[in-house]
Structure 1
Amino acid sequence: MLSDKNYLTVSQLTQYIATKFEKDPYLHQVYVTGEVSNYRKRAKHQYFSLKDDHAVLSGVMFANAFNQLKFDLEDGMKVLAIGRIGVFNQTGRYQLYIDHLEPDGVGALYQRYEQLKRQLTEEGVFQFDPKPIPHFPKNIAVITSPSGAVIRDIITTVKRRYPIVQLTLYPTAVQGKYAADELVKNLERVSIHGEYDTVIIGRGGGSIEDLWPFNEEKVVRAVRKMNIPIISSVGHETDTTLVDFASDMRAATPTAAAEIATPVLSDELIRIQELQARLYRAQANRIQYLNQRLLEYQNAYIFRQPLRLYEGYQLKLRNLQAQLIQSQESNMRSQRMAIQHLDQSLYQSTPLTTLGTYHTKVNYLQHQLISNHSQQIRAKEYQLQKAISQLDLLSPLKRMSKGFAYVTSNKMPVDSITKVDIGDSLAIQLADGKITAQITGTDKKQLSKIKGES
């Protein structure tokens, strides 16, 4: 019967399977190799798959483990993964929870090499103007192993070429776990010392694992920070490390590094001798030339007859004297004419002459004043007579002499019969007297009608 069977929910079954995975001791830590697939970098936790030719395994790497990676994870990369197998209950899928991840095999080192090289190139670490290597160094610092063939080759080459230089060895481990730290430490010591002209850093040949300290980022940055010219000689001629890109010059071998850092003393001595000979010849030629010039000067006429040296100057002096005399005479004539002119002007400006001139001018002005005054009086008299005549024509008395009269009533002028009434008293002013009258009647007739009736 169906009722007699115990059915599990999906969650219960999934949880049961997850418990089985957790209790299996073989699944607590597994080592898996595979190719990274479906990888896309996220802000925190990373989700991707590991696959081979026959299967695919889902994987998850939490942020704290992912941040400890020393390389950039890329899709298609073959890796070695360490982690545990567990079940993700929400999907019921089993997956690998990765605690540690590293590239698979020697190819991983080359991949880390290329990734770091690309990173430093993008930062501009390898883009700089190399410092020139001093041609005549006094002190050279060598950073390498004290027991290797590198230091022996450098010492042999320097003694052969330039034995007067001082070599200072900074013993350093050039491979192994602590090699990178020792390289950085000794580079800092050399920089602090500050009295070295050149630095040689290097080691002999070896595998990429042996040379790897010279590819460490901190070593490369320490080399780039050096304020002393540095020559790198790491591995064989075909080996190229990141330190080579950060150095001011790369040498294929330790011997080549020593040759770059030092000149050949015997060659320099020969060159100095050649320069001395050239200097002697140049000075001898210079002395011969100067002696020849001295002889020419001694035979010159100006030294044999020194007075002839001044003939030209004497002729020029005589010409200048003649010009000076002519100039003085011309100047004196001009001065005399100016004095005569001033004397004549002064005579004309004597007080008597000036008073006579002003007296004549005063008489003339008096005559003009009297004449103008008389003319103005006559003009004013004429204007007055003309104004009197015009005023006489407009005088009321003049009109009254022709029969006109000035009529007033109560001291008010009467110019219309409407302003008076019968019985009012009138004052009639004539040319020779006044008449007092009383109105007995009025007749309103216009003057034009009266003229018509008459």
Structure 2
Amino acid sequence: MDNEYLTVTALTQYLKKKFDFDPFLGKIYLTGEISNYRYRGNSHQYFSIKDDNAKISAVMFKSAFAKVKFQPEEGMKVLVTGRISLYERSGSYQIYVNHMEPDGVGQLYQAYEQLKNKLSKEGLFNAPKKSLPKYPKRIAVVTSPSGAVIRDIITTTRRRYPIAQIVLYPAVVQGQEAADSIAAQIKQVNADGNFDTLIIGRGGGSIEDLWPFNEEIVARTIYDSEIPIISSVGHETDTTIADLVADVRAATPTAAAELAVPVLTEEINKINNFYARIINAFNNKLVIKQQRLNKLKQSYIFKQPERLYEAYLQQVDNLSNNLLNFMKDKINHNSKILTDYSYRLKINSPLQTVKDYEKKVDNNFNNTVRAMKNILSDKSNAMQKTVSSLEHLSPLKTMSRGYAYVTSENNQKVIKKVSEVHKDDEIKFNFIDGSAYAKVKSVHQKENNYNVRRN
């Protein structure tokens, strides 16, 4: 009974084979709106295709998506080609897209408009344009070496301005490799340097033929160029991204050469005309200056130059006299001031004042000496009186009359009372001319007028 039940894997594999071997599902042409789209850089793209009533999951692998010329957007109506199959892990069917283009608008035109809007927002079209040099010496041309473009540019340049040098940088201008080739050659021209102008271009063609000049890499390389670029791509009615980014756009290669160089004969004629105008202007200027010189020669300044100084000489004499009188007055005034100050100084001479102060100093000195002597005498007499009083009170004078004082032998303390002495104590008798030592044999103390003996 269990053999009648299928596993989910077996059923899914069976359904997948049904999808894969169905001839009607091997190549499907489908139209609808893009839904749930989120761009994944350098990876596979996952989204949905839907209409008003249904939706199908879609997968576009990286290799197929790289061939898409426009950028898919959410809600964009597209035409897709692919196959229908079943994704076993989720059990859902989906379309594997291998080609996609906008519905109702050509794929290349859609890509053109998207890149144009992108670069416009970044400011590549509105950036300040570099000016073309009026008299270029070397012109680089990036184009096909076998096309009519280089021949037209060379022919026109040689006819108009043969002294300019044309250097061809051959590039592929059509096909898958064209954009990289054009960008590489533009970079090479800038790296080589020493070029005044750069022309890029090719002949007319369909939008597919001109598409390399609509690639982003070419547009950004033109924008980064240090050399001013003239773009000459297609015919006048065809406008490429390169035309919009370039510094100058030319309708044809011949027009590009005409913009790049002037007409040598016209420039020579201009130089001759300028030369003639300069000569005429110089001659006219010379005539005017000569007339002015002749007029000046007739002036008294050159015929009688001494008249120029007559007024100045008289003015110098007047100023000299005024200066002399001023100096005399100044000297007389200062002389009077000096005399006045000399008289006042003589009257108020400090010599007598100095002499008076010298006398005062001498008197003060003598008075000070006398006062010091008197003070010294008084102090000497007072000291003698004090010494005499001290002699009367001196114990030495008392001892000279036969008195002595006793001290303890142990601590040299003066013994004033008999109570301070004990039997067998060693005592010292201090006389005026020396001392004597003794040992106490017995002590007698007075008490209430009676003698008490202490053994």
Q: TM-score scaled by structure 2?
A: 0.70
Structure 1 residues 106 and 282, CA, compared in 2 at 3 Å: closer, same or farther? same
Q: After TM superposition, give the deviation of residue 155 of structure 1 in Å.
A: 2.0
Structure 1 partner of 2:58: 60
Structure 1 residues 170 and 31, CA, compared in 2 at 3 Å: closer, same or farther? farther
Does the residue aligned with 2:163 lie in a helix, a strand or coil? coil
Partners of 2:78 and 2:100 within 8 A in 1 = no
Q: After TM superposition, give the deviation of residue 134 of structure 1 in Å.
A: 0.4
Rounded to whole Å, the distance in 1 between the matches of 2:31 and 2:103 is 9
Q: After TM superposition, give the deviation of residue 104 of structure 1 in Å.
A: 6.2
Partners of 2:157 and 2:257 within 8 A in 1 = yes
- Which shows bigger deviation, 277-286 or 18-27? 18-27
- Which shows bigger deviation, 192-201 or 154-163? 154-163
Rounded to whole Å, the distance in 1 between the matches of 2:30 and 2:9 is 32
Segments of structure 1 that go 5 or more residues without pairing to the other structure are 363-454
Kindly provide the amino acid, as one letter, of the partner of residue 140 in structure 2.
Answer: A
Q: After TM superposition, give the deviation of residue 46 of structure 1 in Å.
A: 2.8
Structure 2 partner of 1:107: 106
Q: 1:65-144 counterparts in 2 under 5 A?
A: 68=66, 70-74=69-73, 75-86=75-86, 93-98=92-97, 101-103=100-102, 107-144=106-143
2:234 pairs with 1:235: yes
Q: After TM superposition, give the deviation of residue 350 of structure 1 in Å.
A: 2.4
Kindly provide the amino acid, as one letter, of the partner of residue 77 in structure 1.
Answer: K
Q: 1:44-443 counterparts in 2 under 5 A?
A: 46-50=46-50, 56=54, 58-61=56-59, 64=62, 68=66, 70-74=69-73, 75-86=75-86, 93-98=92-97, 101-103=100-102, 107-351=106-350, 354=353
Structure 2 partner of 1:452: none
Q: After TM superposition, give the deviation of residue 186 of structure 1 in Å.
A: 1.5
Structure 1 residues 33 and 339, CA, compared in 2 at 3 Å: closer, same or farther? same
Root-mean-square deviation (Å): 3.2
Partners of 1:184 and 1:219 within 8 A in 2 = yes
**CA deviation digits over 1:95-154, x for unaligned, max 9?**
213355444697000001111112222223323211110000111111112232222222
Structure 2 partner of 1:392: none
Rounded to whole Å, the distance in 2 between the matches of 1:42 and 1:88 is 24
Kindly provide the amino acid, as one letter, of the partner of residue 128 in structure 1.
Answer: A
Partners of 1:215 and 1:241 within 8 A in 2 = yes
Does the residue aligned with 1:210 lie in a helix, a strand or coil? coil
- Which shows bigger deviation, 235-244 or 336-345? 336-345
- Which shows bigger deviation, 176-185 or 65-74? 65-74
Rounded to whole Å, the distance in 1 between the matches of 2:173 and 2:244 is 18
**CA deviation digits over 1:168-202, x for unaligned, max 9?**
12222211222222212211221122111101111
Q: TM-score scaled by structure 1?
A: 0.70
Structure 1 residues 197 and 73, CA, compared in 2 at 3 Å: closer, same or farther? same
**CA deviation digits over 1:313-332, x for unaligned, max 9?**
11220121122012101211
Structure 1 residues 23 and 45, CA, compared in 2 at 3 Å: closer, same or farther? closer
Does the residue aligned with 2:49 lie in a helix, a strand or coil? strand
Rounded to whole Å, the distance in 1 between the matches of 2:87 and 2:285 is 98
Does the residue aligned with 1:208 lie in a helix, a strand or coil? coil
How much identity, in percent, do the aligned residues show? Answer: 41
Structure 1 residues 356 and 348, CA, compared in 2 at 3 Å: closer, same or farther? farther
* Matched pairs, number: 356
Partners of 1:142 and 1:200 within 8 A in 2 = yes
Does the residue aligned with 2:195 lie in a helix, a strand or coil? coil
2:30 pairs with 1:33: yes
Rounded to whole Å, the distance in 2 between the matches of 1:23 and 1:215 is 39
Does the residue aligned with 2:306 lie in a helix, a strand or coil? helix
Q: After TM superposition, give the deviation of residue 77 of structure 1 in Å.
A: 2.5
Q: After TM superposition, give the deviation of residue 353 of structure 1 in Å.
A: 5.3
Q: After TM superposition, give the deviation of residue 282 of structure 1 in Å.
A: 1.5
Structure 1 residues 78 and 87, CA, compared in 2 at 3 Å: closer, same or farther? same
Rounded to whole Å, the distance in 2 between the matches of 1:23 and 1:258 is 60
